[in-house]
Structure 1
Amino acid sequence: MFELPSLNLKDQVSEQEWQLRVDLAACYRLVDHMRWGDLIYTHMSARLPGTDHYLVNAFGLSFDEVTASNLVKVDLAGNILDDTPFKINPAGFTIHSAIHEVREDAHCVIHLHTKETVAVASLECGLLPLSQHSMFSLPSLSYHGYEGLAVNDDERKRLQDDLGTTNHMLLVNHGGLTVGPTVGDAFMRFYDLQRACEIQLAIQSSAQPAVQVPQPIIDNIYNQANVVHSGSTGGQLAWPAMLRKAYRLDPTFAQ
């Protein structure tokens, strides 16, 4: 059986970078636990504050193998900056570097191929205002048309333009994407998007008439959420609990 190289960067990087590595590795483990993964594919990345460098998963590892130390540090040109035996997925680099290049606020980018986000992204109607969870995505939701595997540099500009200033995106025939100022914020936004898609598909499968939320409520939901979550997405409040959960599942992610 192939044994993964053992890496330990804890004492070789700054405290700030190490904490970011721990948070991102925990996010990979939580996504695996929630069955949102896609074998060795899809990606989550986190930018190192004050730099154009970001962390992403090593290509070929399943999400339950990701650790703080085996995350790969790259620049916006795709150059690997760590002394690491691992490589990165070119498709993941195309999507994540494109977003990090133009969104200074998007310190974390989550892109996943869950069956529910793929399904709703493939419906002509897209995401509908059918649940409270959808309310958190709809005021800041965009769409990007399918162009095949994301390995074409020409697609970067169209992806950037389609995302604009939104924080949630459905990639048509492809999956979901969220961004946030922290790993916790991006995670919470994907949780809401994923749950909204799950609920919508459950309602549509019932073949019964559905009650849609009126537009004035949709327009006001961010104001209400800011009051409840003290100005954040709720991710900063929920993340400590999620981090504790990741430690309970398997603390090796923090190595």
Structure 2
Amino acid sequence: MTAQTNPGATTKAGTSGATEEEELRRELAAVYRLVHHFQMTDLIFTHISARLPGPDHLFLINQYGLMFDEITASNLVVVDLDGRLVRSAEGAVVNPAGFVIHSAIHRRRPDANCVLHTHTRAGCAVAAQEKLLPLNQMSMSFYDRVGYHDYEGVALNLDEQERLVADLGRHHSLILRNHGLLTVGASPAEAFLRMFYLHRSCQIQVDALAGGGPLVLPPPEVCEHAARQLEEGEDSDDYTDELGLELTWQALTRLVERTYPDYAT
């Protein structure tokens, strides 16, 4: 298994003495900074939400109006499933309309503890095409493992939620046609690593199509084999990398700590 494709084994940093919510706040703030660092932001728009532990169905999300490089562990706000503020600093606001997509998935996918949505240039370009192509080893990890949701206008209509969740199905990645990309994960780290490689796959596709020459696609059986290798390491004759996922997240955390040391405040 390679670190680039299946971040399902990523874990929390485990800061000594921190509560579960404090650790989650730091991990989510780190992901906001990483999305900024890798230029996947859309000014103050789009969200990354993370489910808080407990039975109350509450979520951490960014304050509306902050750039992603301004997000810290302490200025994340708490909202309910309808995007209403439950806990926040004085004067903080949240964009409830932007939470329509997130709340739909959080309601129906209990495994989706984190939902990450982007409007990147390459992601929007591929969202305007028929589908994500298995052009590269990175994109093969999404082979038959990404959903597609047709554009219905700005995501303000609650009626769209049922269709969006149905189109995601059991996948962990969704291409919102004419809109952008979405990934889910058991943790913010997992959702981010999926998004990093979904976005990178879109960049490769845009570049390959811009080359103008004929594209070379592996046979379907090879694509499926590669997807299983990268996703599960099922083949007993294949080598596996049991450390790559955790080491990747540790390296990314060090990058955030070096570059944006205020993220954990």
Q: What is the TM-score with the length of structure 1 in the denominator?
A: 0.89
SS state at 2:85 partner? coil
Matching of residues 106-185 of structure 1 within 5 Å: 106-123=112-129, 125-185=130-190
Q: Does 1:39 align with 2:43?
A: yes
1:90: Cα distance to partner? 2.2
1:236: Cα distance to partner? 4.0
Percent of pairs identical after alignment? 46
Aligned to 1:244: 254
Q: Distance in 2 between matches of 1:188 and 1:251?
A: 21
Q: Distance in 1 between matches of 2:88 and 2:74?
A: 11
1:149: Cα distance to partner? 1.3
CA RMSD of aligned residues (A): 1.7
- Check whether the contact 1:28–1:66 (CA below 8 A) recurs between aligned residues: yes
**Deviation per residue, 1:55-105 (Å, 9 max, x gap):** 111100000110101111111122211142211112321011111001111
Q: Does 1:104 align with 2:110?
A: yes
SS state at 2:87 partner? coil
1:177: Cα distance to partner? 0.5
**Deviation per residue, 1:194-235 (Å, 9 max, x gap):** 1111111111001111111221122223431233354x9x65
**Deviation per residue, 1:166-190 (Å, 9 max, x gap):** 1111101111000111111111111
Q: Does 1:30 align with 2:40?
A: no
- Check whether the contact 2:77–2:88 (CA below 8 A) recurs between aligned residues: no
Q: 1:83 to 1:196 in 2, by over 3 A?
A: closer
- Which stretch of structure 1 is more off in the superposition, 199-208 or 78-87? 78-87
Instruction: Count matched residues.
Output: 240
- Which stretch of structure 1 is more off in the superposition, 110-119 or 209-218? 209-218
Q: Distance in 1 between matches of 2:41 and 2:167?
A: 24
Q: Distance in 2 between matches of 1:116 and 1:134?
A: 13
1:144: Cα distance to partner? 0.7
Amino acid at match of 1:38: D
SS state at 2:86 partner? coil
- Check whether the contact 1:59–1:88 (CA below 8 A) recurs between aligned residues: yes
- Check whether the contact 1:108–1:182 (CA below 8 A) recurs between aligned residues: yes
Name segments (4+ residues, structure 1) moved above 6 Å. none
Q: 1:185 to 1:78 in 2, by over 3 A?
A: same
Aligned to 1:95: 101
Q: 1:146 to 1:87 in 2, by over 3 A?
A: same
Q: Does 1:208 align with 2:213?
A: yes
SS state at 1:81 partner? strand
Q: Distance in 1 between matches of 2:175 and 2:73?
A: 28
Q: Which has the higher contact order (CA 8 A, sep 6+)?
A: 2
**Deviation per residue, 1:82-133 (Å, 9 max, x gap):** 142211112321011111001111111110000001000101x221111111
Q: What is the TM-score with the length of structure 2 in the denominator?
A: 0.86
Q: Distance in 1 between matches of 2:247 and 2:107?
A: 27
- Gap runs ≥5 in structure 1: 1-13
SS state at 1:138 partner? coil
1:242: Cα distance to partner? 0.7
Amino acid at match of 2:101: I
SS state at 1:143 partner? strand
- Which stretch of structure 1 is more off in the superposition, 76-85 or 166-175? 76-85
SS state at 1:140 partner? coil
Amino acid at match of 2:107: E
